[in-house]
Copies of this chain bind each other. A is one copy, B any other.
Amino acid sequence: MSKVRYGIIGIGNMGSSHAGAIYRGEIAGAVLTAVCDEIEAKREWAQGQWEGVAVFGSTDEMLASGLVDAVIVANPHYGHPAEAIKAFAAGVHVLVEKPAGVYAKQVREMNDAAAQSGKVFGIMYNQRMNPLYRKLRELVQSGELGEIRRTNWIITNWYRSQAYYDSGSWRATWAGEGGGVLINQCPHQLDLWQWTIGMMPTRIRAFCQFGKHRNIEVENDVTAYAEYGNGATAVFITSTSDAPGTNRLEVTGDRGKIVIEDGKMTFWRLRQSETEFNASNQILFGTPEVWKVEIPDQGPSPEHAGIMRNFTDAILNGTELVAPGEEGLLGLTISNAIHLSTWTDGWVELPLDEQLHYEELTKRIESSTFRKSEPAEAALPVDLSRTF
């Protein structure tokens, strides 16, 4: 195979953006051969967009055509696992948009299908290409920061007005999206929260507020507290109604503290680990010697294009994936646990009780204002360049 032939499942905002990047030749080794969408208006629009690219009305037709080696799954969230499973069954590689799905139970089925197929499986965690977070992960993995003790992420700059929520009847509904800021805006950060430090929580206590300052049924204000097996703790705070919001990640380890804010990383590095200092210090109010280190600018992030290039390289050359598809389950599990903790008003232990979460979600879906008979995302794509 000299070129990977791509098909796009769902040409809404994200799908059409990815289709365009491949069509324009921005992804070496990739060629756009087909797209599919259930909505006729979008198919008509697509005919005029990408010359020579086949347009299908269903995933099944596209997969049966033999035109694609790989698909990007970019239909509405709930449908990601089902479409991916179809593609794996057809022997096609899959790059799934975030979130991997809406509930862990369905994503586990997708992961099983991927494993059985032996095909390359990636997830569009484009923030894993961000050099700042890659650098943080490297500083943790290399031991520079020492054993992790605490993380605080305030990621409240996901401002969405009522006009945004009113732009689609599926938006911010249990039946249409399966959640709010946790499912739509925050999946990247929920992934990075565990990926950068290489640890999943052992239990979570979280506090979601639903329809905070907005007329919506899902959560748009979240405070989550997490504990880890090594005794570390963490807080994750997100919102869509704070203005202006904050994006500040602080990670404290035995050898210092790293803060990422305003696109800059600062490392307060202890000359001696806190554990060592504490064991030997005899001065009543003594504190460890600390050096403020400005980590050099790591350059721009290749974002989605970076993920698509890495995924293409994995198919063509066996390159290791930066964002293996199976790992979509990790951030989603945290997301599900945050919902479940709020719904049960108690601790949620991990591994997650995925069945209990699914049952609780189902209750909300049944009372949701959104009815699936209405078209999901019928509008033509809009410019999302500032939003993902």
A positions within 8 Å CB-CB of B: 149-150, 152, 154, 156, 159-164, 167, 205, 207, 209, 212-214, 221, 223, 225, 227, 231, 233, 235, 237, 239, 241-246, 250, 252, 256-257, 259, 268, 270, 274-275, 277-279, 281-288, 290, 382, 384, 386-387
Contacts and interface: CB of A to CB of B under 8 A. Distances in A.
B212 A231 contact: yes
15 contacts: A159-B288, A161-B281, A163-B282, A163-B284, A164-B285, A205-B205, A205-B207, A221-B233, A223-B235, A243-B256, A243-B288, A244-B256, A244-B268, A244-B290, A285-B384
Q: What is the count of identical protomers in the complex?
A: 2
A159 B164 CA distance: 45
Contact of A287 (B159, B275, B278, B287): B159
A244 B243 CA distance: 29
A387 B287 CA distance: 12
Contacts of A235: 223, 235, 237
| Complex A-B, nearest 6 residue pairs according to Cβ-Cβ distance, in ascending order | A161-B281, A243-B274, A244-B290, A159-B287, A161-B278, A243-B288
Contacts of A162: 278-279, 281
Nearest to A221: B233
Contacts of A212: 231
A341 B225 CA distance: 14
A164 B284 contact: yes
Given A149-B242, A160-B285, A241-B274, 11 more contacts: A152-B154, A152-B237, A161-B277, A163-B282, A164-B285, A207-B225, A207-B233, A243-B274, A244-B288, A244-B290, A246-B250
Contacts of A288: 159, 243-244
A52 B169 CA distance: 81
A243 to B, nearest CB: 5
A83 to B, nearest CB: 26
Contacts of A239: 150
A245 B290 CA distance: 11
A382 B284 contact: yes
A154 to B, nearest CB: 6
Nearest to A382: B284
Contacts of A233: 207, 209, 221, 223
A213 B241 CA distance: 38
Contacts of A223: 225, 233, 235
B246 A257 contact: yes
A154 B205 contact: no
A286 B161 contact: yes
Given A163-B283, A283-B163, A243 B290 contact: yes
A242 B287 contact: no
- Which of A161, A163, A256, A281 has the most chain B CB atoms closer than 10 A to its own CB? A161
Contact of A387 (B227, B282, B285): B285
A166 to B, nearest CB: 9
Contacts of A163: 281-284, 286
Nearest to A281: B161
A113 B227 CA distance: 43
Contacts of A382: 284
Contacts of A205: 205, 207
